[in-house]
């Protein structure tokens, strides 16, 4: 049973609102501001439409929406269970796809996950949705974890440096990128066109929980790895259906700090920020305002650089021992995404699973809060997206 989702919105949903002055971007010069000057026409359109859309609205997404369900009840996304419509953005992960145990054989569990992810991406694209990939890449020595808490002190100190050009694990990293490239190149729509995707490698790099975190590499080393990743996929492997995103965690409170590990305008299409902490228990309106202040920095930079701004991850997980925060979606998250005239193209909530959820289902006590959020004027679900893969006339 769907929750009540009949509330109307005071906005147009069947056409892309055209701003009077979309910065310096025009339909003719889009690739000037993109990483890949040879991007497919659909990928160029996605960049343009995300940039324009951010002036008036944002896409609502969820990680693994077609494969992660509260109480493991599948078939349709939990967002659709609650609102009647799928999310506008589907998050996926290369973690299992590049796992050392993926044999590429049909009876292999990891390969089965790869096939499932690819099918989900195709389904999302065919439904007009936006696709984004992160990559919880396991460290190069034992390939068992991406968390430094599972690594030895020696491995922590060496892992990231080892994948740089000239490093002992550089060829290993190239093979992982070969796999990523093969997946990107296999994503095709009904007419054989390559499906555009957003890729955000080495996310939350300002933290200390992943082996690519700030404690384990210098700013220059991080930039080198990010640039190599982009150049290798784009130039060596000929991948041209990708928009590249950087997505630190929420530690940055000035433009200079945010740009401290920025690879450069030639390597980044989307300026993101993951933020769970400012919207956690007890932070209330002050936390929401702080999250908005940080997103304002990202939005201002995106306007200045003619890039796209996004809240690349967020969420407040409800477990059997935690209760929802009143108004978390419709008040605190919506305020963070819209106050002070910021221009954010999308927000992605993390994955549901088991007895825990980030996005409620219709039976959840905070379902009405989420429905109220998605019914807000600027929030878009799948059914409200314009055609993201064609530049409007």
**Tens-place pLDDT, residues 368-381:** 999 999 999 999 99
Checking if the pLDDT of 221 tops 80, the result is: yes
In a domain? residue 333:
yes
Checking if the pLDDT of 383 tops 70, the result is: yes
In a domain? residue 25:
no
- Backbone phi, then psi, for 334, in 5-degree steps? -60, -40
Average pLDDT on 322-336 reads 97
Contact, 365 vs 359, CB < 8 A? no
- Residue 6: the pLDDT is 40
In a domain? residue 199:
yes
The first and second tokens of residue 141, run together, are 């020595």
Average pLDDT on 333-357 reads 98
- Residue 40: the pLDDT is 98
Using a pLDDT cut of 70, give the percent of the chain over it. Answer: 94
- Mean pLDDT of the chain, nearest integer: 94
Residue of higher predicted confidence among 192 and 5 = 192
The first and second tokens of residue 99, run together, are 């796992």
For residue 147, what are the β-bridge partners? Answer: 210
Rounded CA gap, 153 and 151, in Å?
7
Residues 6+ apart with CB under 8 A from 20: none
Which of 20-24, 195-199, 273-277, 323-327 is predicted least confidently? 20-24
Domain holding 59, by residue range, is 35-384
Checking if the pLDDT of 292 tops 80, the result is: yes
pLDDT bracket for residue 163 (50, 70, 90): very high
pLDDT bracket for residue 75 (50, 70, 90): confident
Checking if the pLDDT of 263 tops 80, the result is: yes
In a domain? residue 391:
no
Contact, 374 vs 4, CB < 8 A? no
- Residue 85: the pLDDT is 98
In a domain? residue 299:
yes
In a domain? residue 20:
no
The first and second tokens of residue 246, run together, are 């950087």
Cβ-count burial 125-163 (b if 16+ within 10 Å, e if not): beebbbbbbbbebbbbbeeeebebeebeeebbebbbbbb
Using a pLDDT cut of 90, give the percent of the chain over it. Answer: 93
Over residues 1-39, the pLDDT tens digits come to 344 444 446 544 444 444 444 458 999 999 999 999 999
Total of domains in the chain = 1
- Residues acting as catalytic residues: 204, 313
CATH number for the domain spanning 141: value is: 3.20.20.80
In a domain? residue 289:
yes
In a domain? residue 11:
no
SS3 for 100? coil
- Residue 9: the pLDDT is 63
- Residue 329: the pLDDT is 98
pLDDT bracket for residue 49 (50, 70, 90): very high
């Amino acid at each position: 049973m769907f929750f009540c989702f009949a509330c109307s919105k005071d906005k147009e949903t069947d056409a892309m609102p055209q701003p009077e002055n979309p910065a310096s971007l025009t339909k003719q010069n889009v690739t000037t501001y993109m990483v890949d000057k040879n991007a497919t026409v659909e990928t160029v359109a996605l960049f343009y439409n995300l940039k324009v859309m951010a002036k008036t609205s944002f896409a609502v997404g969820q990680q693994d929406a077609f494969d992660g369900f509260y109480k493991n009840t599948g078939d349709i996304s939990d967002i659709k269970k609650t609102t009647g419509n799928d999310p506008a953005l589907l998050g996926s992960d290369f973690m299992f796809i590049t796992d050392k145990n993926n044999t590429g054989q049909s009876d292999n569990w990891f390969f089965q996950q790869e096939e499932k992810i690819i099918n989900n991406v195709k389904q999302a694209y065919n439904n007009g949705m936006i696709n984004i990939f992160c990559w919880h890449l396991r460290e190069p020595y034992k390939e068992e974890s991406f968390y430094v808490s599972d690594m030895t002190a020696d491995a922590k100190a060496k892992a990231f440096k080892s994948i740089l050009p000239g490093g002992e694990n550089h060829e290993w990293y190239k093979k992982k990128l070969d796999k990523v490239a093969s997946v990107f190149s296999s994503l095709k729509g009904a007419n054989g066109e390559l499906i555009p995707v957003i890729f955000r490698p080495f996310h939350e790099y300002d933290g200390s929980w992943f082996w690519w975190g700030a404690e384990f590499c210098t700013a220059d080393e991080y930039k080198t790895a990010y640039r190599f990743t982009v150049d290798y996929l784009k130039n060596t492997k000929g991948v041209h259906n990708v928009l590249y995103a950087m997505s630190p965690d929420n530690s940055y409170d000035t433009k200079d700090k945010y740009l401290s590990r920025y690879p450069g305008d030639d390597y980044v299409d989307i300026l993101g920020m993951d933020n769970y902490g400012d919207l956690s228990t007890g932070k209330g309106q002050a936390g929401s305002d702080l999250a908005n202040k940080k997103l304002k920095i990202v939005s201002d930079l995106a306007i200045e650089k003619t890039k796209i701004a996004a809240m690349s991850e967020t969420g407040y997980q409800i477990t059997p021992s935690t209760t929802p925060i009143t108004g978390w979606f419709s008040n605190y998250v919506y305020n963070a995404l819209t106050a002070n005239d910021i221009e954010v193209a999308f927000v992605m909530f993390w994955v549901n699973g088991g007895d825990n959820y980030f996005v409620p289902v219709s039976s959840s006590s905070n379902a009405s809060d989420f429905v109220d959020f998605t019914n807000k004027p600027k929030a878009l679900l799948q059914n409200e997206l314009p055609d993201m893969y064609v530049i409007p006339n």
